[in-house]
Structure 1
Amino acid sequence: MKDNTLRWFKSSYSDSGGGTCVEVAQTSTHTYVRDSKNPDGPLIALAPDAWGTFLASPALA
């Protein structure tokens, strides 16, 4: 989904030096994830249950 109406937010875990940055945008049906260094590149679209599973991952704790 390439949609200019999405509001992207940088992850609080992203590198403050502009290196490793992840951005997310949410709609009522999906959470989208992209690399902030390549905003026109591919997106990952996750359904709400998949996004919840990702956030609950022990790797993020």
Structure 2
Amino acid sequence: MNNPDRWRKSSYSGGGDGNNCVEIATSPARIAVRDSKAPARATLTFPAGAFSTFVEALKGHSGSRD
């Protein structure tokens, strides 16, 4: 999943150079997520079916700060 050709920035990157976002890489079985400001650091990897659940959970917590 570390092939740079497979990583793409989120469509919600914002204005400017878009450095305040995450990047994702996909394969048929897995989806990986990394911080675009620190791409060499660890990534989160999900089975493909679990990624949409993860995204929906983030949307539900977008305004909260725990």
Give TM-score, length-normalised by structure 1.
0.73
- How many residue pairs get aligned? The number is 58
Quick check: 1:13 aligned with 2:47? Answer: no
Give 4+ residue runs of structure 1 displaced > 6 Å after superposition: none
* Preserved contact between residue 11 and residue 24 of structure 1 (Cα < 8 Å): yes
Alpha-carbon RMSD across the aligned residues, in angstroms, is 2.2
Unaligned ranges ≥5, structure 1: none
* Structure whose alpha-carbon radius of gyration is higher: 2
Q: Which AA in structure 2 matches 1:7? A: R
Q: How far apart are the structure 1 equivalents of 2:5 and 2:32?
A: 9
Q: What displacement does 1:19 show?
A: 4.1
Give TM-score, length-normalised by structure 2.
0.69
Q: Which AA in structure 2 matches 1:12? A: S
